[in-house]
Amino acid sequence: MSGANTFFVTTPIYYVNDKPHIGHAYTTLACDVLARFKRLDGFDVKFLTGTDEHGQKVEKSAETAGMTPLVLADQNSGNFRELARILGCTNDDFIRTTEPRHLAACQALWNKLVEKGDIYLGAYEGWYSVRDEAFYAEDELIKGPGETKLAPTGAPVEWVKEPSYFFRLSAWQDRLLKWYEDNPDCVGPNSRRNEVMSFVKGGLQDLSVSRTSFKWGIPVPGDDAHIMYVWLDALTNYITALGYPDTSGDFARYWPNVIHMVGKDIVRFHAVYWPAFLMAADLPPPKRVFAHGWWTNEGQKISKSLGNVIDPLSLIETYGLDQVRYFLLREVPFGNDGDFSHRAMIGRMNSELANDYGNLVQRVLSMIGKNCGGVVPERGPATDDDREMLDPAYGLLDKLRAAMDRQLYHDAIEAVWVVVRAANGYVDKQAPWALKKTDPARMGTVLWTLAETIRCLALLTQPFMPTSSARILEQLAVPDNQRSFASFGPVGALGSGTALPSPQGVFPRFVEESPA
């Protein structure tokens, strides 16, 4: 099984019926920040994203558009690949469920479940939502207009009656509950873990895992009249990308040391069905499933019908990539629902990025340029004030490791900002511009302490704002091979006498254009 120093992080695979929106960008960014953080911390990381391309919904959409399902999938999968590129994501693989490697993995998993006696042929009769690609029990439905019934998500449902293969999910109830109890961190945050456990305790029905009413999907091995249920197909992507059914190589290297990042609407599939499929196939379940919340737009629910879907590409065009990356993971504790507003975005950019962090970097580097001949100053004896500045900066890495392992991005950023604010206070208290006249050696120590604090901050903000952090590290003349966390703290401290380039502003204030 995977080594202690490997780390596998996945986005859900995105459904090709959608255009990329802020929700897709949010999950992908959260995974990218985690992947970057772990790489900087010396881990062997694999980061996977991709697209989910099968199912009745794609088949119907393609028919409406007058094209084949594969042409539609090719077109829309490209949009998600492009989104990852524009977001600056460092994914190692991009999987599509229409690839031959995925067909092989799904059919191998199916055969294993049959061999273990966990799949049997029966007939399905019940409520199905094409939009959600999900089956619902009668007591889960809600009332729609008139006498209509809707899925709990508000999606239309239809009564389906057809032959179906079933997975013996009911047999896994006690084993799933034991897994949740033995591994308290396997589902996060706690509110979702409680929701999942409550669902499983309520009793599990066997799960229909094949359909005969459409053809766009992976054929059931040995029975081409049946297409695999899209969720059994989709979830398997995580092990397809590790080379399954070959369980040596990447599979042995990374599985099960994985975190599946998902939206809260699909936590049941990942935290109930998926571990049951895996355990039934004699494979270990994932280490952790984390379900984040949803965004609203200026207080309103986001929906196509309201026309208020947030396009991440236009946000990046307006505000800048690092600014969008920062805001999305700063604004809301990850796991909670959040509201996007342009006012909040501009507020964070101007108060935190421009005034707090950007101004600190600009002030300190400009003073070094002006008063120390543009080189890192000599570090003299440290006072209590200097230690009170530098010790918390050096203590940040351990704080961030703990926060990132719990997906507490908001806490990680806040810990960094405590030090940013302390550094601005230290500048004002020490007043190096006054020390230039009265005690130039002390001025050098103060500016060295500040420059070293900024180095620590820039190393730790790399996963969140890679381009801006790189520019700060360049201005401190930190070489590329000293930008990992192995160089964090005293071991990589700035060397006095190092020549620094002329300082350049990194976080400009955002000024709204006045209407003409």
Based on the fold, state whether residues 24 and 120 are members of the same structural domain. yes
Residues 353-389 pLDDT 10s: 999 999 999 999 999 999 999 999 999 999 999 999 9
In 3D space, the residue among 163, 105, 109, 153 whose CA is nearest the CA of residue 131 turns out to be 153
Looking at residue 514, its pLDDT comes to 58
Based on the fold, state whether residues 349 and 287 are members of the same structural domain. no
Tell me whether residue 436 is in a domain: yes
Based on the fold, state whether residues 58 and 167 are members of the same structural domain. yes
DSSP line for 32-87: HHHHHHHHHTT-EEEEEEEEE--SHHHHHHHHHHTS-HHHHHHHHHHHHHHHHHHT
HSE-CB of 90 using CA atoms within 13 angstroms: 20
Mean pLDDT by 10 residues, the chain (516 residues): 83 90 92 98 98 93 94 95 96 98 98 98 89 86 89 91 94 98 97 96 95 93 94 96 97 98 94 98 98 82 70 92 96 85 94 97 97 96 97 98 97 98 98 96 98 98 98 98 98 97 95 67
Tell me whether residue 318 is in a domain: no
Tell me whether residue 123 is in a domain: yes
Tell me whether residue 154 is in a domain: yes
Question: Which residue has 């999305």 as its token pair?
Answer: 328
HSE-CB of 85 using CA atoms within 13 angstroms: 7
Based on the fold, state whether residues 256 and 366 are members of the same structural domain. no
Model confidence pTM above 0.75? yes
Distance in angstroms (rounded) separating the CA atoms of residues 403 and 463: 14
The domain total for the chain is: 2
Residues 6+ apart with CB under 8 A from 254: 2, 6, 7, 8, 46, 242
Tell me whether residue 381 is in a domain: yes
Based on the fold, state whether residues 350 and 271 are members of the same structural domain. no
> Strand ranges (DSSP E) for 214-317?
219-220, 223-228, 258-263, 288-292, 295-297, 300-301
Distance in angstroms (rounded) separating the CA atoms of residues 174 and 152: 26
Question: Which residue has 């300190």 as its token pair?
Answer: 364
User: 143: exposed, middle or buried (C-beta count within 10 Å: 0-12, 13-18, 19+)?
Assistant: exposed
Distance in angstroms (rounded) separating the CA atoms of residues 505 and 365: 10
Looking at residue 133, its pLDDT comes to 81
Residue 226, helix vs strand vs coil: strand
The CATH number assigned to the domain holding 12 equals 3.40.50.620
Tell me whether residue 310 is in a domain: no
Tell me whether residue 146 is in a domain: yes
Based on the fold, state whether residues 282 and 415 are members of the same structural domain. no
Instruction: Mark which of 228, 263, 293 sits at the end of a domain.
Output: 293
Based on the fold, state whether residues 152 and 282 are members of the same structural domain. yes
In 3D space, the residue among 5, 85, 73 whose CA is nearest the CA of residue 49 turns out to be 85
Tell me whether residue 300 is in a domain: no
Domain range spanning residue 281?
A: 6-293
Residues 6+ apart with CB under 8 A from 313: 20, 83, 86
Burial of 191-225, coded b for 16+ CB within 10 Å and e otherwise, reads ebbeebbeebeeebebbbbbbeebebbbbbeeeee
Distance in angstroms (rounded) separating the CA atoms of residues 290 and 262: 6
The CATH number assigned to the domain holding 419 equals 1.10.730.10
Based on the fold, state whether residues 248 and 351 are members of the same structural domain. no
Based on the fold, state whether residues 88 and 224 are members of the same structural domain. yes
Based on the fold, state whether residues 220 and 112 are members of the same structural domain. yes
Based on the fold, state whether residues 96 and 169 are members of the same structural domain. yes
With residue 128 as reference, give the H or E element that holds it. strand 119-129
Looking at residue 2, its pLDDT comes to 59
Looking at residue 509, its pLDDT comes to 94
Given a contact cutoff of 8 angstroms between Cβ atoms, the answer to whether 365 and 500 are in contact is yes
Based on the fold, state whether residues 389 and 455 are members of the same structural domain. yes
